[in-house]
Chain A
Amino acid sequence: MRIMVLKKRDLILILFFLLVGIFLIFLFNYPQQTGIAIVEQNGAEICRFDLQKQNRTEEINVGDKYNVRLKIEPGAISFIHSDCPDQICVKTGKISKPGQAAVCLPAKISVKITGNKKTHDGYTG
C-alpha cells in the first residue's frame, strides 16, 4: 500500500491539535513553578523572598549559634554554608517548588517554599 507523505488534511490535523494544546495551556492557567521562600528561625519567620520576582543572586547570613549562609537566586534558594556538624541542610541543595523545604536542625533554621497561588499537592507521572 502506497501512502502519501503529507496531505492537506494532515496539515489541518497538525494545526488543529497544536492550537488545542496551546489553548489548553492558557485554559489550565498553570500554577507558577516556584513560590515564596520563607526563612524561619526557632519557628518564627525572619524573612521571605519571592523567588518568582527574584532577578539576581544574593547571599545572606542568618543564624546566631551557627552561622548559616543562604543563597537566593531566581527561582531557587539553597543553604550554601552552615557551621553545623551534619551539613544536611547544605546537602539538600537547591529547592524551588512549593512544598519543598530545607532544614538545618542544629541552627534551628528552616527554609520552606509556599505557593503564592493555589497549587496542587503534587505531580505524578
Chain B
Amino acid sequence: MKNISNLNISNRTRSVAFNGLLAALALTLSAVELMLPPIPLMPPGAKLGLSNIITMYAASQVGLIPALCIAVIKGLFAGITRGATAMMMSLSGGVLSTFITWALLHLKKNPFGLIGLGVAGALSHNAAQLLVAMLLTTPAVIYYLPFLIIFGVIFGIITGLVLRVIMPLLGKFIIE
C-alpha cells in the first residue's frame, strides 16, 4: 500500500488535510461518546473523553498549535450542538489538557509513557472543567472532585492504551 506521504502533494496541503482529518476524528469521537449510556457511579455530565485521544495524538505527533486548534474546534462543536455551558466546559478542559500533554512531552526528558500522559491529560481536563463548573454554578461541585480524579485516572489509562494502538495507524499518514 502506498503511503499518502509518497504522493506528490505539497507539504502544506498534506498538513492541512491531515489536521482536518484529526479534527473530524475528534468530533466523531465526541459525538459517539454522547450516544453511550451513562456509566453508573460517574458524576452527571462526566464523559469518557474519547476525543482527548486525538488532541493528545496531535500534541505529541503534530505540534502544539494544531492540537490547540483541534481542541478549540471541538469546543465550538460542543457549543453548536449542546449550548454555551458545554462549550465552556469543553474548551477549558480541551485546551488545558492539550497544553499539559504537550508540555510534558516536551520536557527535557519526557517523564511519562503513554498511559501516564493519558492520565495527566484526563486529570487536567477534569480539573479545568471543575473550575469552570465552580465558577458557572456553585462551589458545591467541588464534591465531585474525588470521583473526577478516580475516573480521570481510569479513563486516562484507557486513552493511553488506545493511543498505543492508533498511533502507528495514524502515523502512516504523517508527513515528513
Residues of A within 8 A of B (CB): 1, 3-7, 9-10, 13-14, 17-18, 20-22, 24-25, 28, 30, 120-125
Least CB distance from B87 to A in Å reads: 16
Contacts of A1 in B (CB 8 A): 60-61, 105
- Distance A21 CA – B105 CA, assembled complex (angstroms): 25
Q: Is the CB of A18 within 8 A of B150?
A: yes
Instruction: Report the contact-size class of chain B (Cβ under 8 Å from the partner).
Output: 35 or more
Residue numbers in B under 8 Å from A6 (CB-CB): 113-116, 160
Residues of A within 8 A of B116 (CB): 6-7, 9-10, 13-14
Contacts of A24 in B (CB 8 A): 145-146, 149
- A sample of 5 cross-chain residue pairs with beta-carbon separation below 8 angstroms, ordered by A number, consists of A5-B164, A9-B112, A10-B160, A24-B146, A28-B143
B interface, CB within 8 angstroms of A: 43-45, 60-61, 105, 110-117, 119-120, 123, 133, 137-138, 140-141, 143-147, 149-150, 152-153, 157, 160-161, 164
Q: Which residues of A contact B119 (CB under 8 A)?
A: 10, 13-14, 17
Contact A14–B110 (Cβ < 8 Å): no
Q: Contacts of B160 on A, CB cut-off 8 Å?
A: 5-6, 10
CB neighbours (8 Å) of A121 from chain B are 140
